[in-house]
A and B are shown apart, each in its own frame.
Chain A
Amino acid sequence: MPDRRTFPLGWDAANDLDKDPGLVPDPAEVDVPEELRVAILAAMARYPDSRSATLPALASAQKVHGWCSPLALHQTAAVMQVTPAYLSSVATFYDMLRTEPIGDRYLFVCTSVACHLRDAKAVYEAIAQEARDQGLEGVDVREFECLGACDMAPMASVDGRYVGPLAQSDARELVSAVKEKRQVLPGRGLEDPGFRLPWSTSDA
């Protein structure tokens, strides 16, 4: 049987066994961008236990660096005073934390059960094809598990802005708008003023 799973690039790259394990970085030796340091410290102050700030801290680091790069983890570890390995273990667990440099923006197309019933796979494939055709770069385009908007299925999340219901014919305009950093499908976003579903009689 063919191997259907694709592994991330470099997944089998040998570890450097001669290298010492990463320790908690010395804050005096690590240069951390000021905005990142402030964001992480603010998050740490919100919780009774500062480790609870791991997720918000990694999200901030990802915002600054575009992905959870080794450098981003090192800087976060220096501010939080934990090991980079600990942060890496957390970053690899969560879907929204990127551990590869795919892009600093995202376009998630929901293809989960409720969207599947409304032909979401075809919509995703149309969008993915458009993205290749138009040479969309710097955007993490992928199928995503249920985004919690099955009423507007099939739908997509463009950097957190939910748009739908989508048809295959929307793919071209959607991808061009993402590429040109315009608002995607104005009026069809969940929080757009007066947004309503085509069959709905009220705004809710």
Chain B
Amino acid sequence: MPETKVLTANLHEPDLHTIAVYERLGGYASARKAVLDMAPEEVLEQLEASGLRGRGGAGFSMGKKASFIPKGTMDKYLCCNADESEPGTFKDRLLMQKNPHQLVEGCIIGSIAAGANKAFIFIRGEYEIQAKILDAAVEEARVKGYLGEGIFGSKFDLDLVVHRGQGAYICGEESALLDGLEGKRGNPRLKPPFPANQGLYQGPTLINNVETLCNTPAIIEKGADWFQSMGVDKSTGTKLVSVSGNVQRPGNYEIELGTSVREIVYGLAGGPPEGREVKGFFPGGSSAPVLTADSLDLPYTFESMAEAGSMLGSGAIIVIDDSQPIVPLALRLAEFYRHESCGKCVPCREGTNWTVKTLERIEEGEATPMDLEIMADVQENIIGNCLCVLGDSMAMPIGSMIKHFRAEFEEHIEGARADKDREAVAAFGAGELAADDEAGPA
């Protein structure tokens, strides 16, 4: 199955980032329709009927999430989560850089559905170019009257602000994102209350990923049935998949959900380098439990990835080939989560730290097989015990690595320890050892 281009259909068009080109290709017609010709309930209905699920990681129904926003006259907010920091994920970067107006239009439609008059795009600070492109796009839309007071000549006001983060993975977590947007340290909040009830500035807030919102203009234009016709079962529509790691052609590929993982990894991304085999892969960003080559023939859907014990997550496939030792990879992964843990909850703060220390001990030949058991135990004690899932995001992949590659871990422990012993003997010097023997008790 080749790529199915919906979100990325027009990316080859020169100057797509300008409003003139975007409108020439039919842009903003959906937003206009949603504002002028449809009741907010109809917009909500279409989104819910489409089966569109969140593309940021959790995979929750977008329409349902929007329907949780209470009705009423209080200030309501839409936040677009553009803090794409999940290792392996770079799909939103492409969407924002090449087609920023599609996201602006998605924000308008999302705001209609949520009844929000203030919208924010929280973009990670590292995306400096993309933030500038978005800023320019928002300004163009404002000049045209698509944002601001009485958009498209209606009575609906909508302000859109591009808010730049300053480098914190945790701000991709929805409640930490809200704290970052309120000008605080990005610490996750206790839930409930959920953001739909009490989010930004204590008001009802709808939070959606960039790709999720980018899907909405086409749904409004072509209808929920059309969207339903793509994909399988409860995984409808197309998905932009970021393929990275040990493949010949890393990149973003838009596929219909349900395409097999093998098709994506081998067909589109060219498979592992010549002479190498797939050892395992992260199916949904580095937070997703690792699957082995046995799972390559599964269809790429939310359900089948969950059934296999992992998740579709942000839709980022990181391929590991058979030349990669697993321990350094686990260490790199654990270091990332240690660095990014905000420190609010003890299991995550300490668990990530001790996992790194244990893996370092393994690397340096100081560990025993018992350390592996302790490490597996630490992972189990992180999962489900924190305010957010950052700790789980380390515990699940590390736990899966220990499960799938236990023999390799054990071999690594023994191998590194034997190396260390040999080095110690060499450093001590054979002569001195001999002298010791002579001096010892007869």
> A: which residues have CB within 8 A of B?
1, 4, 46-49, 51-56, 58-59, 89-90, 93-97, 108, 111-114, 116-118, 144-153, 157, 159-162, 190-191, 197, 199-200, 202-204
* Minimum CB–CB distance for B116 against chain A, Å: 12
B201 in contact with A160 (CB, 8 Å): no
- B90 contacts the other chain (CB 8 A): yes
Taking CB atoms, residues of chain B closer than 8 Å to A96 are 125-126, 166-167
Residue of B127, B165, B246, B336 touching A146 (CB-CB under 8 A): B336
Residue B102 lies at the interface, judged by CB distance under 8 Å to chain A: no
> Given that A51-B183, A94-B165, A148-B89 are known contacts, is A113 also in contact with B318, CB under 8 Å in the complex?
yes
Judge whether B163 and A117 touch: CB under 8 Å. no
In the assembled complex, which residues on chain A have CB atoms less than 8 Å from the CB atom of B89? 146, 148, 150
- Which of A90, A145, A147, A159 is B185 in contact with, Cβ under 8 Å? A90
- In the complex, which residues of chain A have a beta carbon less than 8 angstroms from the beta carbon of B84? 148
Provide the residues of chain B in CB contact with A148, threshold 8 Å: 84-85, 89-90, 92-93, 124, 126-127
Bound-state CA distance A59–B321 (Å) is 40
Contact partners of B366 in chain A: CB under 8 A:
1
* Docked-complex contact B242 and A145, CB < 8 angstroms: no
30 A–B contacts from the bound complex (CB under 8 Å): A48-B75, A52-B181, A53-B183, A54-B183, A55-B163, A55-B164, A56-B163, A94-B165, A95-B168, A96-B125, A96-B126, A97-B166, A97-B167, A111-B332, A114-B87, A116-B329, A117-B246, A118-B246, A145-B340, A146-B85, A146-B89, A148-B93, A148-B127, A149-B90, A150-B250, A159-B128, A160-B129, A161-B128, A200-B251, A204-B11
Are A56 and B164 CB-contacts (below 8 A) given A48-B201, A148-B89, A150-B90?
A: yes
Contact (A151, B163) CB under 8 Å given A51-B182, A160-B129, A203-B12: no
Which single residue of chain A is at the shortest CB-CB distance from B356? A4
B245 at the interface (CB under 8 A from A): yes
Complex Cα–Cα for A56 and B150 (A): 28
> Are A94's CB and B167's CB within 8 A?
yes
Asked if B286 CB lies within 8 Å of chain A CBs, one says: yes
Task: Give the chain A neighbours of B340 by CB distance below 8 A.
Answer: 145
Docked pose: A147 CA to B90 CA in angstroms: 9
Closest to A89 in B: B185
Residues of A near B319 (CB, < 8 A) are: 117
Q: How far is the CA of A144 from the CA of B89 in the complex (A)?
A: 15
- Are B12 and A202 interface neighbours, CB within 8 A? yes
- Determine the chain A residues whose CB is within 8 A of the CB of B88 once the complex forms: 113-114, 146, 150
Contact for A204 among B184, B250, B252, CB less than 8 A: B252
A56 to B166 CA separation, bound complex (whole angstroms) = 9
Report chain B residues within 8 Å CB of A97: 166-167
Do residues B161 and A199 form an inter-chain contact, with CB atoms below 8 A?
no
A147 close to B201 (CB less than 8 A): no
Contact string against A for B residues 201-233, beta-carbon threshold 8 Å, 1 for contact and 0 otherwise? 100000000000000000000000000000000
Which residues does chain A contribute within 8 Å of B197, judged by CB atoms?
none
Given the complex, which residues of B lie within 8 Å of A114, measured CB to CB? Answer: 87-88, 244-245, 250, 286, 318
Chain A contacts of B11 at CB under 8 A?
203-204
With A148-B126, A160-B128, A197-B250 known, 12 other A-B pairs at CB within 8 A are A93-B186, A93-B342, A94-B167, A95-B168, A96-B167, A113-B88, A118-B245, A145-B336, A145-B340, A148-B90, A153-B250, A197-B251
Which B residue sits closest to A51, measured CB to CB?
Answer: B183
Set of chain A residues within 8 Å of B168, measured between Cβ atoms = 93-95
Contact between A112 and B332 (Cβ–Cβ < 8 Å)? yes
Contact, CB under 8 Å: B246 / A150 = no
Contact residue range for chain B?
A: 35 or more
Residue numbers in B under 8 Å from A118 (CB-CB): 245-246
Which residue from chain B places its CB closest to the CB of A47 in the assembled complex? Answer: B161
* Shortest distance from the beta carbon of B186 to any chain A beta carbon, whole Å: 7
The verdict on B324 contacting chain A, using a C-beta distance below 8 Å, is yes
In the bound complex, how far is the Cα of B113 from the Cα of A76, in angstroms?
37
Closest residue of chain B to A1, judged by CB? B366
List 9 A-B pairs, minimum CB-CB distance, nearest first: A160-B128, A54-B183, A95-B167, A150-B244, A94-B166, A96-B167, A146-B87, A114-B244, A93-B185
- Which one of A59, A112, A159 contacts B125 once the chains associate, using CB atoms below 8 Å? A59
A149 nearest CB across to chain B (Å): 6
Q: Mark B60-102, 1 if CB is under 8 A from A, else 0.
A: 0000000000000001000000001111111011100110000
Q: Is the CB of B412 closer than 8 A to any CB of chain A? A: no
Q: In the bound complex, how far is the Cα of B167 from the Cα of A146, in angstroms?
A: 10
What's the nearest-Cβ distance from chain A to residue B254, in Å?
A: 10
B118 within 8 A of A: yes
Query: Contact between B128 and A117 (Cβ–Cβ < 8 Å)?
Result: no
B126 touches A55 (CB 8 A): no
Residue of A nearest to B330 (CB): A113
- B184 close to A108 (CB less than 8 A): no
A195, B201: Cα distance in complex, Å:
41
Minimal beta-carbon separation of B329 from chain A (angstroms): 7
Chain A residues, Cβ within 8 Å of B318: 113-114, 117, 150
A199–B360 Cα distance when bound, in Å, is 36
Within 8 A of A (CB), among B325-376: 328-329, 332-333, 336, 339-340, 342, 360, 366
Q: Does B4 contact A (CB under 8 A)?
A: no
Expressed in whole angstroms, the Cα–Cα distance for A55 and B166 within the complex equals: 7
- Is B18 close to A, CB under 8 A? no
A149, B165: Cα distance in complex, Å: 17
- Verify if B248 is at the interface (C-beta below 8 Å from A): yes
